[in-house]
């Protein structure tokens, strides 16, 4: 899946900016230009822009509409690329349905036929969650309920682009690399309806270092991509009438009983679970916020993050390649329960959910396959992996994932007690979220170290797979100081993290620590959430809390 680019053969026109907007009923068809609309920003979530609670919390469909003109050139195919909507969308061009998507967080790419001098693009978004959406949820007594801890932001969250490709064009490029002695073999697969395909590899200075057609290209003395030196090459694919350039890295990944290796060197994961979340913008992609976030990740001496709990924008993935971060790519299978333990009747995660789950894994891998930063796939966060149906469900999903993804695969678990988990055997790296001293024995700082140490040691001895502690954290209100420490104070957050680090440092099989969370973020309203989740090491405005200074010193030497 190639990102739209401009060059001699290709054009891109951005439709991001001001759109018309309103809430609509289920039966609404945009056959006429909408009336009674208000302005809305794209890309952005609508929820923190609007001033009325009824719209902010609207459950159902919303219309986004915009008129546009682009130069219509002959022998060109026009396409529409929406980076992501939340969640489902239906797209209409001049009142005619042209396609849509059953899920958010991934690109929607549609053919635009019959463009006129002036066109009306209407996007209907449906933000309802059910047991057959990802993430799952349910509507009860007029309320949208869901079992995950981030706000169900609604909107067109990434850029909307009209782009052109020549009739004969490069459809897709897959690059894989292997290092043998002094050479790297770059295997290039191009899907195209063109006759002649020439491929060349440019180094970071723009010099050509290898040429060929489809198949193998040799590069002498390759420079590997790593966190310290994120060296990027470019594959240039040229045909008789098209050209596409895609960056890639030469890197090798493997996992064994003891560790995770990048270019045959063991990796220690230092970083965070994050969120696409910012004031007013909600989940809207924003370059300024992205650049600030990567600057802060570097400042922290982090080397990795997990795209908790859904695929992040392509712009973020590009920055991860450039800055040298290891990314655990996650699909939005978060908070999945089979409700064996609850009494919600027949409504539950089922085979239809699994079909969607596999589709999202496939599309995510198609989107991210050439990113050197993407080093592991996470197929879910905290499913109820002890419930009877979980074993069978994830056996199916993970064996499918292995057919479309050659990266190590994980599934992030919260189930207390390893023996109860029905999925640990299926993964390459064990990822666990633990909140001793917070959700378990709240405020008992003394239990954190012994409980985590005991559990990690037991886990590793039993499964002999490397372990990353993918979440641990304490809600902290910036500026709230307390001596001796109490929960929610900056002192407690720092002490709490230190106790976790002590346990992690003493566990043989532990190959990483991801603090929950990088920054404070918005959640649904709840009795445990005063203005969202406050476990950030940074505030929602991206200023450091006290513990940031300790953690950055720790990670400098780790
Ligand atoms: C978790 C979840 C994460 C929550 C976090 C918390 O285990 O994976 O999404 O935000 O706990 O702070 O409760």
Atom of ligand 1 nearest to the CA of 148: 9
Cβ-Cβ contacts under 8 Å for 338 (sequence gap 6 or more): 348, 349, 384, 387, 388, 389, 390, 393
Looking at residue 196, what is its pLDDT?
A: 95
- Taking the C-alpha atoms of residue 122 and residue 61, their distance in angstroms, rounded to an integer, is 12
Residue 471 is a catalytic residue: yes
Average pLDDT, the chain: 95
pLDDT above 80 for 425? yes
pTM of the model: 0.97
Q: Which of 135, 136, 149 has most ligand 1 atoms within 8 Å of its beta carbon, as the pocket-test mutant?
A: 149
pLDDT above 50 for 13? yes
221 and 141 within one domain? no
237 and 273 within one domain? no
260 and 242 within one domain? no
Please give the distance, rounded to the nearest whole angstrom, from the Cα atom of residue 251 to the centre of ligand 1. 32
Looking at residue 99, what is its pLDDT?
A: 98
486-507 pLDDT, tens per residue?
999 999 999 999 999 999 999 9
Please give the DSSP secondary-structure letter assigned to residue 440.
B
Which one of the listed residues 471, 490, 499, 513 is annotated catalytic?
Answer: 471
101 and 137 within one domain? yes
pLDDT above 50 for 163? yes
Number of domains observed in the structure of the chain: 3
- Structural domain ending residue among the three candidates 197, 227, 248: 248
Looking at residue 309, what is its pLDDT?
A: 97
232 and 143 within one domain? no
- Taking the C-alpha atoms of residue 403 and residue 426, their distance in angstroms, rounded to an integer, is 14
236 and 281 within one domain? no
* Crossing angle (nearest 10°) for helices 351-368 and 390-404: 30
Please give the distance, rounded to the nearest whole angstrom, from the Cα atom of residue 319 to the centre of ligand 1. 25
Q: Is residue 429 domain-resident?
A: yes
96-111 pLDDT, tens per residue?
999 999 999 999 999 9
Residues with CB under 6 A from ligand 1: 149, 309, 381-382, 414, 433, 471, 516, 533, 535
Q: Is residue 7 domain-resident?
A: no
Please give the distance, rounded to the nearest whole angstrom, from the Cα atom of residue 309 to the centre of ligand 1. 10
Q: Which residues of 12-28 are buried (b: 16+ CB within 10 A; e: fewer)?
A: bbebbeebbbbbbeeeb
44-78 pLDDT, tens per residue?
999 999 999 999 999 999 999 999 999 999 999 99
Q: Residue 553: which region, alpha, beta or left (left: phi > 0; alpha: psi -120 to 50)?
A: alpha
Closest residue to atom 9 of ligand 1, CA basis = 149
Looking at residue 339, what is its pLDDT?
A: 56
CATH classification of the domain holding 137: 2.60.120.260
325 and 191 within one domain? no
Higher pLDDT, 489 or 386: 489
Q: Is residue 2 domain-resident?
A: no
Please give the distance, rounded to the nearest whole angstrom, from the Cα atom of residue 201 to the centre of ligand 1. 43
Q: Two tokens at 30?
A: 């945009």
Q: Which residues of 475-484 are buried (b: 16+ CB within 10 A; e: fewer)?
A: bbbbebeeee
Please give the distance, rounded to the nearest whole angstrom, from the Cα atom of residue 149 to the centre of ligand 1. 6
Does residue 210 sit in helix, strand or coil?
Answer: strand
Closest residue to atom 10 of ligand 1, CA basis = 149
Q: What is the mean pLDDT of residues 379-402?
A: 92
Element (H, E) at 56: helix 53-56
Looking at residue 214, what is its pLDDT?
A: 86
- Structural domain ending residue among the three candidates 196, 226, 248: 248
CA 411 to chain centre: 14
Closest residue to atom 7 of ligand 1, CA basis = 433
Domain of 194? 170-248
Residue 382 is a catalytic residue: yes
pLDDT above 80 for 341? no
Please give the DSSP secondary-structure letter assigned to residue 521.
B
- Taking the C-alpha atoms of residue 209 and residue 93, their distance in angstroms, rounded to an integer, is 44
Q: Please, is 259 exposed, middle or buried when counting C-beta atoms within 10 Å of its C-beta (0-12, 13-18, 19+)?
A: middle
Does residue 265 sit in helix, strand or coil?
Answer: strand
The candidate with the shortest Cα–Cα distance to 234, out of 218, 221, 250, is 250
Closest residue to atom 13 of ligand 1, CA basis = 149
Q: What is the mean pLDDT of residues 333-337?
A: 89
Q: Which residues of 282-314 are buried (b: 16+ CB within 10 A; e: fewer)?
A: bbbbbeebbebbbebbeebbbbbbbbbbbbbbb
CATH classification of the domain holding 214: 2.60.40.10
Atom of ligand 1 nearest to the CA of 439: 13
284 and 368 within one domain? yes
Looking at residue 419, what is its pLDDT?
A: 83
CATH classification of the domain holding 538: 3.20.20.80
Q: Which of 383, 468, 471 has most ligand 1 atoms within 8 Å of its beta carbon, as the pocket-test mutant?
A: 471
540 and 486 within one domain? yes
Looking at residue 340, what is its pLDDT?
A: 54
Cβ atoms 65, 122 nearer than 8 A: yes
Looking at residue 213, what is its pLDDT?
A: 87
- Structural domain ending residue among the three candidates 194, 229, 248: 248
């Amino acid at each position: 899946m190639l990102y739209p680019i401009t060059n001699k053969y290709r054009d891109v026109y951005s439709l991001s900016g001001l759109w018309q907007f309103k809430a609509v009923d289920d039966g609404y068809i945009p056959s006429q230009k909408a009336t009674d609309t208000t302005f809305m920003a794209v890309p952005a979530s609508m929820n923190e822009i609007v001033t009325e609670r009824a719209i902010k919390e609207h459950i159902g469909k919303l219309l986004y509409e915009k008129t546009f003109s682009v130069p219509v050139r002959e022998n060109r195919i026009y396409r529409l690329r929406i980076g992501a909507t939340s969640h489902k969308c239906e797209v209409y061009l001049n009142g005619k349905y042209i396609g849509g998507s059953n899920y958010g967080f991934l690109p929607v790419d549609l053919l635009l036929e019959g463009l006129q001098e002036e066109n009306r693009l209407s996007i209907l978004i449906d933000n309802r969650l059910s047991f057959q959406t990802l993430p799952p949820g349910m509507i009860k007594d007029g309320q949208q309920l869901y079992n995950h801890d981030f706000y169900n932001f609604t909107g067109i969250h990434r850029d909307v682009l009209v782009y052109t490709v020549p009739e004969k064009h490069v459809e897709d490029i897959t690059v894989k690399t292997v290092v043998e002695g002094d050479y790297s073999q770059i295997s290039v697969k191009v899907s195209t309806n063109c006759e002649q395909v020439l491929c060349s590899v440019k180094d970071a200075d723009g010099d050509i270092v290898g040429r060929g057609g489809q198949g193998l290209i040799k590069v002498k003395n390759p420079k590997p991509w790593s966190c310290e030196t994120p060296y990027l090459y470019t594959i240039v694919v040229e045909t008789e009438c098209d050209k596409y350039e895609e960056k890639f890295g030469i890197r090798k990944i493997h996992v064994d009983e003891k560790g995770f290796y990048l270019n045959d060197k063991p990796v220690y994961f230092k970083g965070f679970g994050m969120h696409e979340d910012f004031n007013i913008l909600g989940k809207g992609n924003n370059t300024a916020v992205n650049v600030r976030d990567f600057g802060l990740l570097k400042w922290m001496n982090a080397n990795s993050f997990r795209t908790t709990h859904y695929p992040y924008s392509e712009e973020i993935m590009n920055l991860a390649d450039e800055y040298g971060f290891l990314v655990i790519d996650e699909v939005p299978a978060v908070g999945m329960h089979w409700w064996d333990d609850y009494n919600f009747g027949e409504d539950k995660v089922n085979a239809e959910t699994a079909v969607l789950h596999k589709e999202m894994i496939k599309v995510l891998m198609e989107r991210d396959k050439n990113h050197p930063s993407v080093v592991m796939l996470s197929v879910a966060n905290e499913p109820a992996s002890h419930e009877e149906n979980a074993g069978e469900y994830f056996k199916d999903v993970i064996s499918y994932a292995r057919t479309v993804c050659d990266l190590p695969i994980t599934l992030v678990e919260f189930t207390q007690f390893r023996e109860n988990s029905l999925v640990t055997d299926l993964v390459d790296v064990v990822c666990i979220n633990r909140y001793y001293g917070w959700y378990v024995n709240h405020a008992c700082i003394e239990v954190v170290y012994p409980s985590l140490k005991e559990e990690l040691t037991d886990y590793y001895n039993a499964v002999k797979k490397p372990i990353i502690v993918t979440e641990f954290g304490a809600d902290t209100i910036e500026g709230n100081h307390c001596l001796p420490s109490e929960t929610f104070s900056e002192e407690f957050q720092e002490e709490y993290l230190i106790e976790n680090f002590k346990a992690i440092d003493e566990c043989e099989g532990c190959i990483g620590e991801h603090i929950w969370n990088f920054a404070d973020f918005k959640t649904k309203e709840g009795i445990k959430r005063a203005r969202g989740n406050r476990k950030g090491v940074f505030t929602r405005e991206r200023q450091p809390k006290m513990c940031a200074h300790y953690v950055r010193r720790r990670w400098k030497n780790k």
